[in-house]
């Protein structure tokens, strides 16, 4: 994780499940091994260089924004630990990064809004341009809708249906 620089990315891949990582210590805690949800990655061909995405995010925020952002971590953690999709959904409306990054991808805001209106917890994955859309298993698949939506705006994309690996990576 130190070499890659993002323990929040490496930990789930190695440990499996849904992992929370404490930034300063790098401590990783598995909060769920399995969740009854569909994880869909919508991957447009439009790249978003991480360095560029980081530059547009402010260095500081008003107190209300910080309070709003931190108040949303509780529902996310509760949703993950209890497999409570409505709680998870409520917590995934980002106010720290997406308001600054979404304008760089003019199609992202409308797609995320439409996905959320249809019941998917949708958000930029990392710095973007990939969008994650999470739905309860058995609910609709947001992948085909998203690819069609983006195509209508001249953006080529693919989607991948994912699931949590309860064990993480294995080397054979």
- 3-class DSSP assignment, residue 113: helix
Q: pLDDT tens digits for 52-98?
A: 888 999 999 999 999 999 999 999 999 999 999 999 999 999 999 99
pLDDT tens for each residue of 93-150:
999 999 999 999 999 999 999 999 999 999 999 878 999 999 999 999 999 999 999 9
User: CA-to-CA distance for 19 and 166, rounded, in angstroms?
Assistant: 11
Reduce the DSSP state of residue 128 to 3 states and report it: coil
DSSP conformation class of 132: E
In angstroms, rounded to a whole number, what is the distance separating the alpha carbons of residues 77 and 18? 10
Contact 96, 53 (CB under 8 A): no
- Gyration radius of the chain over CA positions: 16
Query: C-alpha angle with apex 102: 59 to 8, nearest 5 degrees?
Result: 65
Predicted pLDDT of residue 16? 85
pLDDT category of residue 13 using cuts at 50, 70 and 90: confident
């Amino acid at each position: 994780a130190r070499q890659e620089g993002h323990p929040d990315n490496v930990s789930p891949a190695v440990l499996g499940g849904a992992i929370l990582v404490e930034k300063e210590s790098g401590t990783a805690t598995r909060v769920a091994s399995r969740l009854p949800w569909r994880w869909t990655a919508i991957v447009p061909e439009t790249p978003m260089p991480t360095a560029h995405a980081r530059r547009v995010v402010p260095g500081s925020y008003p107190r209300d924004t910080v309070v709003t952002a931190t108040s949303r971590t509780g529902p996310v953690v509760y949703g993950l630990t209890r497999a409570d999709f409505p709680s998870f959904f409520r917590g995934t409306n980002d106010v720290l990064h997406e308001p600054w990054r979404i304008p760089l991808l003019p199609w992202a805001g409308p797609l995320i809004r439409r996905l959320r209106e249809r019941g998917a917890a949708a958000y930029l994955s990392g710095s973007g341009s990939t969008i994650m859309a999470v739905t309860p298993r058995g609910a609709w698949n947001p992948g085909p809708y998203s690819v069609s939506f983006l195509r209508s705006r001249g953006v080529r994309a693919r989607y991948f249906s994912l699931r949590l690996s309860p064990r993480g990576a294995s080397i054979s």
